[in-house]
């Protein structure tokens, strides 16, 4: 029992469900965000899409990411260097941030029970209304560990 119908991508469906208009730019941003584990910054999104959308404006990227965040499709995270990053995984989880290259990874799932406990205990032991929790580990990723050592030694010599 097949019926002729046009194919609706998951991204398109998600946008419509959120009450947002579907445009080529938004679809492309959604697709990139959903497919990336790099927690892209607005600049990274812009740089990635610019070749396919020569007319793309950074402004559009900022606004779109903001709309998607408001719709609950993305989560904005902030880190030590004060540049925003966006995460298509909106479930609570912690991040690993490399202080040299800026890479952002998700932490191992093994931490999740602890994070849940922390959030519930945090909410329970304060009189504030808690809406969200953010947890970041800072250090050096495997690619930067060696370079970090070298830099530290140089500093010591000065």
Give the interface with DNA as residue ranges (CB under 7 A): 16, 20-26, 41-43, 53, 55-60, 62-64, 66-67, 82-84
Q: Which does 23 bind (CB under 5 to 8 A by kind): a second copy, DNA, none?
A: DNA
Q: Which does 147 bind (CB under 5 to 8 A by kind): a second copy, DNA, none?
A: none
Q: Which does 64 bind (CB under 5 to 8 A by kind): a second copy, DNA, none?
A: DNA
Q: Which long-range contacts (CB under 8 A, 24 or more apart) does 81-87 make?
A: 83/41, 83/43, 84/41, 84/42, 85/39, 85/40, 85/41, 86/33, 86/39, 86/40, 86/41, 86/42, 86/45, 87/39
Of residues 60 through 99, those in contact with a second copy by CB under 8 A are 76, 78-84, 94, 96, 98-99
5 binds a second copy (CB under 8 A): no
Nearest to 79 by CA among 144, 153, 4, 137: 137
Angstrom distance (rounded) from CA 121 to CA 131:
13
User: What tokens were used for 58?
Assistant: 């950074």
User: What tokens were used for 92?
Assistant: 């609570």
* Least distance in angstroms from the C-beta of 64 to DNA: 5
* Least distance in angstroms from the C-beta of 138 to a second copy: 5
* Least distance in angstroms from the C-beta of 73 to a second copy: 18
Residue that the structure tokens 């209304």 belong to: 129
Residues that bind a second copy (CB under 8 A): 76, 78-84, 94, 96, 98-99, 105, 107-108, 110-111, 114-115, 117-119, 121-123, 125-142, 145, 148
């Amino acid at each position: 029992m097949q019926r002729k119908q046009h194919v609706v991508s998951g991204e398109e469906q998600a946008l419509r469900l959120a009450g947002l208009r579907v445009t080529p730019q938004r679809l492309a941003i959604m697709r990139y965000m959903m497919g990336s584990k790099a927690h892209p910054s607005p600049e990274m999104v812009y740089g990635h899409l610019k070749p396919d959308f020569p007319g793309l404006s950074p402004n559009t990227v900022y606004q779109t990411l903001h709309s998607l965040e408001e719709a609950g499709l993305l989560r904005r995270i902030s880190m030590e260097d004060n540049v925003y990053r966006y995460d298509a995984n909106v479930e609570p989880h912690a991040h690993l941030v490399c202080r040299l290259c800026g890479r952002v990874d998700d932490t191992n799932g093994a931490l999740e029970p602890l994070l849940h406990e922390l959030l519930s205990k945090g909410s329970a032991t304060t009189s504030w209304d808690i809406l969200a929790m953010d947890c970041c580990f800072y250090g050096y990723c495997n690619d930067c560990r060696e370079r970090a050592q070298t830099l530290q030694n140089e500093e010591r010599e000065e």
